[in-house]
Copies of this chain bind each other. A is one copy, B any other.
């Protein structure tokens, strides 16, 4: 029950610090005889890789993954798949100042309080660099789900709001996410965000975001009541991502405002079985998937590292002014998209296995 592990049957355990020798994970529970190689995983990592536009950090990392175990002659063997990504851009800069300061909005203070020690280089373990290994694990989950669920299965994610600027849902087109640096499914909004983020950056500030992740082709019946509900597992999964401060399923917080006649998704006989007339429940009822698309949205706070000087304290409890230099994502939400997709994939891979174990026996 390592706290650095995610999942029950399809599970992975993560390690590594921002400026240590490397990061990686061990993925266990992977079904045997699944085609797997570095070449299959790398494209997932490349989507999250830093330095791909001026709207993300300029840290130089190839994020090249090495598979250390669990794969033989191009196939998984059912034994643990260990993956290692060596850190490359560990600038040997001077940490003497930051080593004693708590950067506001970061985990510096809380790690120090908890452990009485911390690796202060780039945030150490609390750095979002750790999310690369989630993407690697998610790639395996995604491969597994494709094999088990078939053609109709697909996970797609995008940024649907940056700062106060939401997309126009009448223009929503998931294919557009590949055409702009924001994973934005609305090309017009993407244009606006470019201007907005340039302004934010000039001001020495940063922006928050809302992401939406949708999984299609998910059969009814996944999810384990009562404390292993699919939406609970998804909420937990998403809330572990750095800077996430809110999660909602389907209608989410807007459902609080609705009345019961609007909110309840009615059903009617359809061509191939029962059909829902709405998806306010986001594809989950009673913690179990309905067969509709799973819809999850997450709120991501603005990047805490900004160029504007911030008030804080140091290890001695004395007032200091923290000045961040260098290369930070003006909106961490953007690179959060492949990470949130990955967390959706690993959650679903786990749900598939847990369902099979109990309900697929006879």
Contacts and interface: CB of A to CB of B under 8 A. Distances in A.
A5 B227 contact: yes
Given A268-B319, A354-B357, A28 B3 contact: yes
Contacts of A126: 225, 286
Contacts of A57: none
Interface string A282-295: 10111111110000
Nearest to A331: B260
Interface stretch (A41-49, A108-116, A171-179, A181-189): A108-116
Interface string A304-334: 1010101111000111000000000000010
B260 A306 contact: yes
Given A68-B20, A256-B208, A115 B261 contact: no
Nearest to A79: B125
Contacts of A247: 235, 239, 246-248
Given A68-B20, A113-B288, A360-B356, A77 B125 contact: yes
A265 B226 CA distance: 36
Contact of A304 (B26, B29, B33, B264): B264
Q: Number of contact residues on A: which range applies?
A: 35 or more
Contacts of A100: none
Nearest to A107: B286
A180 interface: no
A231 interface: yes
Contacts of A117: 32-33, 72, 75-78
Contact of A15 (B80, B223, B232, B233): B80
Contacts of A239: 229, 231-232, 234-236, 247, 249
A138 interface: no
A255 B105 contact: no
A206 B264 CA distance: 10
Given A109-B220, A358-B31, A79 B17 contact: yes
A76 to B, nearest CB: 8
A4 B26 contact: yes
A136 to B, nearest CB: 14
A139 interface: no
A69 interface: yes
Given A221-B110, A269-B313, A261 B306 contact: yes
A113 B311 CA distance: 50
Given A246-B248, A260-B303, A80 B9 contact: no
A334 to B, nearest CB: 13
A228 B4 CA distance: 7
Contacts of A282: 245
Given A9-B358, A247-B246, A359-B78, A313 B268 contact: yes
Considering residues A116, A224, A266, A286, which has the most beta carbons from chain B within 10 angstroms of its beta carbon?
A286
A39 interface: no
A315 B360 CA distance: 21
